[in-house]
Structure 1
């Protein structure tokens, strides 16, 4: 956090979660995941947020009271036990502790109307945590990964759905994204809706549905990596700007509630 910032200014506190200490990760994979998380952190800081890095492998129970927003980053495959599957030989880099932590983090955030942004694995965790399931392997030759030894990401298009929150952020129609995943959403959680599709029918974006009372949690997940260096300029900035605006509203509302509680007479 920046000690030079005024405490009167709105600087939402964002929890940036990823499995930094996962024992199942190779050193090369860990370095890649850390690099993406640090790039995301730099965008959040530039947008005016204070960032708390959460190591999902060791952090235990999420402390939602101190957070105004949550970002769940990419990483290893989600444990198939969480969506009642026997698994697939291709599943790798599973960290059950991170799965438990981030599932709880997502559920608590949505329940408390704390904004959530999920990236790649983060989208999958959002879906599983809220009751959905995953396709455990898309197979070889999909557009979502690359067989090139010197490239970690693949470029492909996605179609953003009209009249969704994601469309207000990125616009409607085709955009080019960078991705690297072999799993995807199979059964969508009941409280979520699709906000983007890949040409092959894979779900690429999700967001929260409105509740019966008309309120809608700010919860957006993208299956691609907008924080990756080769992404089209402005894409991650747009997502971060919208996310930080929602987190700032959460912070202001929380401060107002705390002030009301302090001013209410006891007895």
Structure 2
């Protein structure tokens, strides 16, 4: 049957969860993500962690990919020792999402990385992460209250895809304590916060492979999601 909407795969958490009478491991995703993509005109397929050997096969079923936020990446992926504030790694998710990202880049499938997803892009490209941002910027403004989003401004870099979608200084929803440190090969920084934190990166020479440090799904601004859906419709 012919699809009427581009199908966007969104990666999921792998964590313990409680609902009803149950308390057990779950592959889950905040409904903000699915609703945001649907409002932007896409249909959604959730992609829980799997064997990375199957990443290209499963990616062939979708038109675009969102790498969702969530747990801290394993510092061993970028040859670092864990900071005391770095969360416990989820290696199954790390391996799976790196496999999906590499398959998406190989097949030129449009991809949007959100928060952790942007950090994954940087690590995949050989970059590193700052494991606890307050140590670097001297404040907690990127994550002032656990479990709540906070708004701050980002400034796009002229001439980038990000600037074409968000052409002016824009307030965005943030909730992160890690950030890009050394930028990976073939990535261009495409937005900053006022304190210099890297807020967006793009793979150079690709139609749509963009990572943002903020959470667009937490606000009503659909410009990034609509751009992903448009790119997916053309892929």
TM tier, shorter chain? 0.7 to 0.9
Structure 2 alignment gaps of length 5 or more: 20-24
Residues 31-64 of structure 1: per-residue CA shift (max 9 Å, x gap): 9x733xx2221222233323111123xx223222
Q: Where does residue 211 of structure 2 map in the other structure?
A: 221
How far 1:93 moved relative to its partner? 4.2
CA displacement at 1:143 relative to structure 2: 1.8
RMSD: 2.2
**Which runs of 4 or more aligned residues in structure 1 lie more than 4 Å from their structure 2 counterparts after TM superposition?**
none
Q: TM-score, normalised by structure 2?
A: 0.87
Moved more, 237-246 or 38-47: 38-47
1:45 pairs, out of 31, 38, 50, with 38
CA 1:9/1:15 → structure 2, altered by over 3 Å: closer, same or farther? closer
Do residues 199 (structure 1) and 199 (structure 2) align? no
Report how many aligned residue pairs link the two structures.
Answer: 222
Contact 1:10/1:248 (8 A) holds in 2: no
Structure 1 residues without counterparts, runs of 5 or longer: 1-6, 211-215, 251-267
Given that 1:107 and 1:130 are in contact with CA atoms closer than 8 Å, whether structure 2 keeps it comes out as no
**Residue aligning to 1:249:** 234
SS of structure 1 residue aligned to 2:60: helix
Measured after TM superposition, the shift of residue 198 of structure 1 is: 0.6
Query: What is the CA-CA distance between 1:176 and the residue it aligns to?
Result: 0.8
Structure 1's 95 and 143: CA in aligned 2 closer, same or farther, altered over 3 A?
A: same
Q: Compute the displacement of 1:141 (Å).
A: 2.3
In our comparison, the structure showing a higher alpha carbon Rg is 1
Structure 2 partner of 1:127? 122
Deviations 1:197-250 (A, max 9, x none): 01111100111111xxxxx2411111011111xx3x4x2x11111101110111
Instruction: Indicate if the aligned counterparts of 1:114 and 1:217 stay in contact, CA closer than 8 A.
Output: no
DSSP-derived class of the 2:46 partner: strand
2:58 is the counterpart of 1:60: no
Q: Secondary structure at the match of 1:52?
A: strand
The structure richer in strand per residue is 2
Distance 1:188 1:16 in 2: 24
Residues 25-44 of structure 1 aligned to structure 2 (within 5 Å) = 34-35=29-30, 38-44=31-37
